[in-house]
Amino acid sequence: MQRQLTAQSEKVMQQVETDGVYVPETMMKNSEIPHVFAMDNLDWKMKTLDGGSFNATTAIIIENQKIVRVQEGARFPTSTLERKKTLSDVTDLRAPMCHVSAKDRQRSRSLEHIETLESLDTSSDGTAEDLLLMWRLARMVTTSELLDAPPDAEAGLPGFSAFCADLHPHRPASIIGYLPLIPASPTDPAVLKEEIKRLVKTSHALGDKYTIITGDQATYELAVAIRDKHIDEFCNVVLLLGGFHQAHNYMKAVCKIIREAGAEDILVAAGLCQEGTAKKMFGEKADYYQTMHALRILSGAMWRLYWQAFEACAADRETQHWQSQVENVVKMLFEKDTTATEKLEIIQMSRPQLSILQEQMLLFQESLNEHPTAVFWSIFLEMSDILHRFIYYQREGNWAGHLCESARMLPYLTAAGHYKYGQQSLPLYLAEMKKLPDTATEAHEALMAGAFVGRR
């Protein structure tokens, strides 16, 4: 299989001999929104005859268009007359030596230029906060004492992702181009430098001034060290942390924090899963989608308890400033005749009332300081909300929201002992992205337009 994949890659590379640049046929040159590259390590974890494993460096191109166009797709010859019966031997990658010392790595991930944690904060438009709050209120309105439930409330609302997808207009899928793989691991500095050089040439062939590359934490950290050491060669390279890897790592950090607080026992006692499954979902090798589902169930249950306690506290406070408007919005969310655009506009128009409600909820949370258990689970709700909002901003291609929620992850990543994200790569990433409007204006505008997201 390794020979097959690498032979195919070599055949593709031979199609374009000039500078070794390969541009997939699905890509459009001089695109209105610059392209973004995503690279990762391909490891099938299969032992070879000599005791090694199959590792390769893979990369794709993501193209987002403001207008819908027909995807031509890759063209493959249908004739079998000239097809070879056997695969050609693949030569090993002869990349020039690239030495990255421990001092180079230490210098590239230094936090000396970051003065305060607050300097990494980015303000968002608050859309995710409003949608998440209204979604939670509408989901439990039937048991609320402050809010009157509409007649159709028993039907319920879908999950948060489906709820947001119904409100927002459908966006066209991204055009994906697959680049040849390198039959070597990207953890080798020479291999990663060679891959970055290929991506820079490809981006120039596509007409892009900046080469925007996204990858996981390990790839990002090494790529930053290589770029900083060879800044003259890679001065127009912008490196991003992959959103999925970041969300997955943060999710495991949340699980690590709540694991010893009885989260596993709650799921088992509720009959949602067996003990072995609960331990697996909250372990280091947790499945992303399975654990996300468990966290949503757990946060939903804790939110109901939180809201019940808030209602008891709010009985002595003024609620008329937000109560009637929130009831109207909840009622509107269950109406089938109201369009998605109208629902979204009404939620946005209700921001002043929702802000008053959120202020009262913050005052209520401060009153819990004498109850450590209540404080702990309210912090869990905040951690869960950060994850929900981060995923929302990722799917909507909201760059400011992405940076905002990333900064909010830092304390919890550090508390869980995820130092590579919490105290190394993520702070550096946020600091660099804060400077991007001045250092790479065109790249910043592309990210603001949602170029950092690949949609299916």
- Are 412 and 357 in contact by the 8 Å Cβ rule? The answer is no
| Cα(423)–Cα(77) distance, integer angstroms | 50
| Type of residue found at 275 | E
Which contiguous run of DSSP H or E holds residue 389?
helix 372-396
Calculate the average pLDDT of the chain: 84
Per-residue confidence (pLDDT) for residue 78, from 0 to 100:
40
Task: Give yes or no for residue 33 having a pLDDT over 70.
Answer: yes
**Total residues found in the chain within this entry:** 456
Which contiguous run of DSSP H or E holds residue 301?
helix 288-314
Per-residue confidence (pLDDT) for residue 215, from 0 to 100:
93
- Are 121 and 404 in contact by the 8 Å Cβ rule? The answer is yes
Burial class from Cβ neighbours inside 10 Å (0-12, 13-18, 19+) for residue 37 reads buried
Of 102-116, 178-192, 320-334, 338-352, which gets the smallest average pLDDT? 102-116
Task: Give yes or no for residue 70 having a pLDDT over 50.
Answer: no
Site of tokens 């990369």? 59
Site of tokens 């204006």? 441
Tens digits of per-residue pLDDT, 97-129?
A: 777 777 777 777 777 778 788 888 999 999 999
